[in-house]
Chain A
Amino acid sequence: MEHIVIIGNGISGVSAARHIRKNSDKQITIVSAETKYFFSRTALMYIYMGHMKFEHTQPYENWFWDKNNINLKEGYVSSINTDKKILNFKDSSTLSFDKLIIATGSKPNKFGWPGQDLDGVMGMYHKQDLEKLEKFAPNNEVCKRAVIVGGGLIGIELAEMLRSRKIPVTFLVREDSFWNGVLPAQESEMINKHIKEHHIDLRLSTNLKEIKSDENGNVKSIIIDETGEEIFCNVVGLTAGVTPNIDFLKDSGIQTKRGVLVNRFLETNIKDIYSIGDCAEQHEAIGQRRNIEAVWYTGRMMGEVLAQTICGNKMEYKPGHWFNSAKFLDIEYQTYGWVFSERNKQENETYFQWQHPKQNICITISYDKNTNKFLGINTFGIRMRHEIFDKWLTENKSIEHVLEYLKDANFDPEFYNLYEKDIVAKFNQENNTNIQVKKKSWKRIFSKA
């Protein structure tokens, strides 16, 4: 029987394993150095905050793997012999495979800052990072202050985590406004304000120079590059993005760049070796997506698609329309299609924006200013229906259509205040149009594209 070995038990590897099992009775082994059982990385923050226990982050009960005949091996792969098809482990054990899936995910970026390996410096990615944080920042007595370096999604989550234990947080962000490489200014500004409302000491346009050590090799303080200011702290969180976790492939002959290079079928340059998830890098970008996409659902989709290929139904990885979501402290964010920040948008792209006068609710719709084609939407504090926007993007609908039928797309809980009328009124006023908001229709919502 063919032996499929998957390195990495994150969402990509586990999705691949589950779908291979659904479609075949091949022998499957998942290798992990992090934890025996699959857990949801995105939920690590909730453990520290006390919303959940670790067991709650495991989507499958422990008997699931045995029942589905998926072997779990704990171990750290140190090298791969691609000729003999053998994995060598750190503990000098070995494992042979017929087909190999590399799904090792990412690791936090470190940019060579002095002191970046001191005790008390950590990312927030692995379960071990959580354990470290629990050790160095159990409360605000032990951790008098934490400094977070890097203003992305993980950075703001780490800040939220630390604030849940009333630990003072200084948040260093390279950009002059939070995440404004991705978000339009209106939204970035709103998040800046919201961060400060949560008593986080947000420092924009600020870079880290070095991390200083005390006599025991623990973090003592950090120095800010621009001003030379020293900030005393016990924990430094490095959250300046992630990079593929593929150091162990160095001499394997598997072609890599930043990640493991794969074609549209997720095949590497070596036969029977594949790569999926955060560590896979497309030779050429798919649509406007990045070559490496460290997003939960792309990992899952790659796993699903590769499972088809491995089970004899060769299938290309074709992610559909871009979408994503996040939560910035109390503000939920969803996006469908492409909304680029002012910095990154093309000449033909323009915004329609609406913001609630008091609450943290706003939207940005990006559209083509020549053809009025709808390109994408960002919503903050409003939930939207994925299916509807996916359909509208596929059908190349115009912004007028989107606004007219906006009620169909709303996904907020029942009884919430809805703002379609205000939103459309603003658009009508700005563009001299007369769009009338249509009532929500179940028939339209359920009609398939």
Chain B
Amino acid sequence: MKTIKYTGLIVFLIGLTIFTASVFTGNFSFTEQELDSFIQEKGYKSEIIKEELSKAIVTEENLNIFQFSERVRNAVETNNKHYNDLIAKYNKEKNWDKKGAQYQYRIDGKPHTISFQIAKKAGSGFIKENAGLMWFLTFGLGIFGALMFMLPNLILLGKPGIKNDGVYHDSSTNRGWIAWLVLVYLVTFYLVLYFMADYVVNWTFILDPISKALNGGEASQWFVYGFLYCTIMVTMAVRMYIKYRHNKYQIIRTTSVLFFQIVFAFLIPEIMTSLNMPGYDFKNAFPLDYDFFFEWNLKSLSESGSIGLFILVWGIVLTLVIVPVMVYFFGKRWYCSWVCGCGGLAETLGDPYRQHSDKSLNAWKLERWIIHSVLIFSLVMTLVTLYCYFSGAQSFLGIKTNWIKDTYSFLIGAWFAGVIGTGFYPIFGNRVWCRFGCPLAAYLGMVQRFKSRFRITTNGAQCISCGNCSTYCEQGIDVRAYAQKGENIVRSSCVGCGICSAVCPRGVLKLENGPEDGRINPTEILLGNDVDLMNLINKK
């Protein structure tokens, strides 16, 4: 069994290595003809960019993606510098007509994005020609190896039950060197994905056939991310199914997040795209879906006829009605640990790291400051955006709409939710984003705290303060602090994953939806001590 397990690990690592190494392969170049048609397609009017690109990438040389990217970016920079200089010059001369005429020649957009677009067409090599084979060598080996690594646990872990043996002895789950390596890999992955997507254009070649089958177009880096996301969740869900096979709540919950990720976040948007509709994730609620009210989205929806209108109405109803009503009946868990994609990854890939959330009082204070700030940030941004959309202005309350959108997308959307949120799993736990950053979680949390039937019931006086519940709470809630006082746990941050109840050795905790009366139950003296309570209270 152990042999199978470690063979699996090696197979997985081979898959991962090939996947990573594939970035460095392939040749990237254009012929003059290809360049012409690209420039025509993009509608570039500048002669300089044509000339520069021609010098740079119409070549017999074998350029790898890094050399290629650098040349493209230099070409764009040279072009833009030329026209910016002209603009500055005419500005000085107060020659407004000529100044105004220069803007159309500048190449807008992020240099890495332009490089990605060209590379997508300019790439050639083994991967592009053997996408199917490469899929098996990367995704295939990865999945196969991971399953070989995990399935033996059915036997190795012994009888069904809580199996956390060695969590704090193992380098990968105890912030050891493996954990740090994983962190570096994940952070690099996100940085490249968000800011230097052209470097990993080879990955999109691997998935082009699948993308074409699904939506008719070639794979973008976001398709790669979505596909990888689903693959990882499915594979790591197998681990969840094995680890918690005695616990029906965990099995059903895991199945639910898988379903919503694969069907709602991945398949439906892809299919919609193939039908020339705007691809929309029907479960992704504003303000987690922070660009729902961005101009480009509103524009695209308004141009998409009845489906666009439906999405617009649905999106608003989802946030204003469905989300709070569901939280009232079931707690925010219905979203955060049953439906949400971020939660889905946290509960599958992130489960081995759940114990790293900080349980200190200071962390709780920090959490409330940060998460509510992000909520306010997202609301202000949306307000500015909407005002500008309807009024046609460039700014509102002195805030420029483009600036605030870019800042939010960069700081919150990319850095917080991605690089830190997922990249830091192995060190800070699997719910950093959900606990400290997600504006939707902040909103759901307020409803859960003040108007909901959900609570974690503490079972009388059975608690022995062992601390398993607090240790394994991914949201950093000091569950024991409540349980040992006989108090129910009603906290805005609780995502209802149910693990505290699962790891409790004495059957003290139960997630349930019940009457609001008695949900919060401060206890003077715990059950079991037959003191006359009225007497005690009267004497106070």
Contacts and interface: CB of A to CB of B under 8 A. Distances in A.
Interface of A: 11, 40, 42-43, 46-47, 49-53, 56-59, 61, 164, 197-198, 296-297, 300-301, 304-305, 308, 313, 315, 318-321, 323, 325-327, 329-330, 332, 334, 383-387, 390, 411-417, 442, 445-446
Contact of B249 (A53, A308, A318, A414): A414
A323 B248 contact: no
B531 interface: yes
A417 B252 CA distance: 13
B467 interface: yes
Contacts of B527: 320, 386-387, 390
Interface-central residue, A47, A51, A164, A318, by most chain B CB under 10 Å: A51
Nearest to A297: B461
Contact of A52 (B158, B471, B515): B471
Nearest to B515: A442
B166 interface: yes
Contacts of B461: 297, 300-301, 323, 386
The 6 closest A-B pairs by CB, nearest first: A386-B460, A330-B161, A383-B507, A43-B466, A50-B166, A415-B248
Interface in B356-383: 360-361
B249 A51 contact: no
B530 A385 contact: no
Contacts of A47: 168
B517 A51 contact: no
A42 B248 contact: no
Contact of A50 (B164, B248, B470, B502): B164
A50 B167 contact: yes
22 contacts: A40-B466, A51-B164, A51-B168, A51-B471, A52-B168, A53-B168, A57-B466, A300-B461, A301-B461, A301-B526, A301-B528, A305-B529, A313-B539, A323-B460, A325-B507, A326-B506, A327-B505, A390-B460, A413-B248, A413-B249, A416-B249, A442-B514
B510 interface: yes
B459 A411 contact: yes
Given A49-B164, A323-B461, A383-B459, A332 B506 contact: yes
Interface in B116-168: 158-162, 164-168
A249 B247 CA distance: 49
Interface residues of B, number: 57
B159 A198 contact: yes
Given A50-B169, A325-B507, A318 B529 contact: yes
B45 to A, nearest CB: 63
Given A198-B159, A415-B252, A446-B515, A305 B531 contact: yes
B468 interface: yes
Interface in B383-427: none
Given A301-B526, A320-B529, A334-B507, A59 B467 contact: yes
A445 B248 CA distance: 24
Nearest to A386: B460
B237 interface: no
Given A323-B528, A327-B506, 20 more contacts: A43-B464, A43-B468, A47-B168, A50-B164, A50-B170, A51-B165, A297-B461, A297-B464, A304-B529, A305-B529, A308-B531, A320-B527, A320-B530, A326-B506, A383-B459, A384-B507, A413-B502, A415-B248, A417-B248, A445-B514
A69 to B, nearest CB: 17
A411 B528 contact: no
A61 B361 contact: yes
B53 interface: no
A330 B160 contact: yes
Contacts of A334: 462, 506-507
B8 interface: no
A50 B471 CA distance: 12
A446 B165 CA distance: 38
A56 to B, nearest CB: 5
B428 to A, nearest CB: 16
A287 B258 CA distance: 54
A304 B525 contact: yes
B274 interface: no
Contact of A40 (B467, B503, B528): B467
Contacts of B510: 383, 411-414
B85 interface: no
A47 B164 CA distance: 11
B484 interface: yes
Nearest to A316: B531
A11 B530 contact: no
B480 interface: yes
Contacts of A315: 531
A301 B460 CA distance: 13
Nearest to B360: A61
Interface string B507-538: 10011101101100000011111110000100
Nearest to B496: A414
A386 B462 contact: yes
Contacts of A57: 466-467
A386 B511 CA distance: 15
B505 A332 contact: yes
A413 B164 contact: no
Contacts of B252: 415
Contacts of B530: 318-320
Interface in B155-189: 158-162, 164-170
B481 interface: yes
B498 interface: yes
B461 to A, nearest CB: 5
Given A51-B168, A297-B528, A42 B464 contact: yes
Contacts of B517: 446
B165 A50 contact: yes
A49 B459 contact: no
Given A300-B526, A327-B505, A386-B527, A42 B466 contact: yes
A50 B465 contact: no
Nearest to A327: B505
Interface-central residue, A318, A326, A411, A446, by most chain B CB under 10 Å: A411
Nearest to B247: A413
B69 interface: no
A343 B509 CA distance: 33
A98 B360 CA distance: 35
B135 to A, nearest CB: 37
A413 B462 contact: no
Contacts of A43: 464-468
B7 to A, nearest CB: 21
Given A383-B507, A415-B252, A325 B462 contact: yes
A413 B498 contact: yes
Contact of A56 (B361, B470, B498, B514): B470
Contact of A42 (B465, B501, B525): B465
B525 A164 contact: no
Nearest to A19: B525
Contacts of B167: 50-51
Contact of A304 (B170, B470, B526): B526
A325 B462 CA distance: 7
A56 B165 contact: no
A387 B460 contact: yes
A43 B464 CA distance: 9
B59 to A, nearest CB: 57
Contacts of B468: 43, 46, 51-52
A282 B474 CA distance: 43
B507 A411 contact: yes
A417 B251 CA distance: 13
A43 B164 CA distance: 14
Contacts of A198: 158-159
Given A198-B158, A329-B161, A383-B459, A319 B528 contact: yes
Contacts of B507: 325, 332, 334, 383-384, 411
